[in-house]
Every structure is written in C-alpha cells, then in structure tokens.
C-alpha cells in the first residue's frame, strides 16, 4: 500500500474534514490546503481512479475502505508524532509541520515501535 505523499495528504485532509462536516466537497479541500481548484480537481480524479475516494453526482466526496485505511494510518502518525514533539518542547505549529514530514517516511514497523514508546513516555496508553 505505497502511494505518493500528496495522495496521503489529500486522504488525511478528507478524513479530517469529514470529522468536522457532514459532507465534504472539493472546495473544502481547496480551502483547507490552500491549493488551487484545478490541482484539487486533478487529485480527486486520480484518487477516484485509484479507488481511494468516491464522488457522488452532487460533488460530495467520501473515502472508500482503502482510502479510509490510508487516511487513518497517516492521521494516527500525524497526531502521535505531533503530540510527542510538543511534549519534547517543540512549539505546536512547528511540531505539526515536522510531524507531517515524518509521517510519510517511516515504515509501519518503526512507527508502531515508536508509538508504543512515545505513548509510554508521555503517560498515555497505546
């Protein structure tokens, strides 16, 4: 399940938006990521063609099971890494930016081991 970082970012954004709103459209993604409408349109087409999202006739976007699995994996990495960096003393904005870079580059094995360690360190259950 290896996809491009940009696709992972789009899927994560759709997941986050769907937790805030009952329905997600391309314009919501444009506003959230500050990307151009054409860029988001091309990305949504690619994600649809690869089976990661569905778009209905009204333009509402939903994650497929495959898309949701990737989005949740990336979101989990992002939140755990951000919390850990903040716990270490990094300011929240920088921590979120750094977590976004880190979340795409490590293996599942490395992340799971790090997550267990991080959550023990900061006093939370895995």
The CATH number of whichever domain residue 43 belongs to comes to 1.10.10.10
Residue 104 has pLDDT above 90, yes or no: no
Same domain, 82 and 97: yes
| Digit-coded pLDDT (tens) for 26-79 | 999 999 999 999 999 999 999 999 999 999 999 999 999 999 999 999 999 999
Q: Report helix, strand or coil for 23.
A: coil
- Is residue 105 domain-resident? yes
Closest CA to 115 of 63, 73, 80: 80
| Digit-coded pLDDT (tens) for 3-31 | 788 999 999 999 999 999 999 999 999 99
- Is residue 126 domain-resident? no
Q: Read out DSSP for 33-93?
A: HT--HHHHHHHHHHHHHTTSEEE-TT--EEE-HHHHHHHHHHHHHHHHHHHHHHHHT--HH
Number of domains in the chain: 2
Model confidence band, residue 125 (pLDDT cutoffs 50, 70, 90): low
């Amino acid at each position: 399940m290896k996809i491009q970082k940009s696709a992972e970012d789009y899927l994560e954004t759709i997941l986050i938006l769907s937790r805030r709103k009952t329905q997600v459209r391309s314009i919501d993604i444009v506003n959230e990521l500050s990307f151009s409408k054409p860029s988001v349109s091309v990305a949504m087409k690619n994600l649809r063609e690869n089976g990661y999202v569905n778009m209905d006739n009204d333009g509402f976007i939903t994650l497929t099971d495959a898309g949701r699995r990737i989005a949740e994996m990336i979101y989990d990495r992002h939140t755990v890494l951000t919390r850990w960096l903040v716990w270490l003393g990094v300011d929240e904005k920088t921590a979120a930016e750094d977590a976004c870079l880190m979340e795409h580059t490590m293996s599942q094995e490395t992340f799971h081991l790090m997550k267990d360690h991080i959550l023990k360190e900061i006093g939370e259950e895995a």
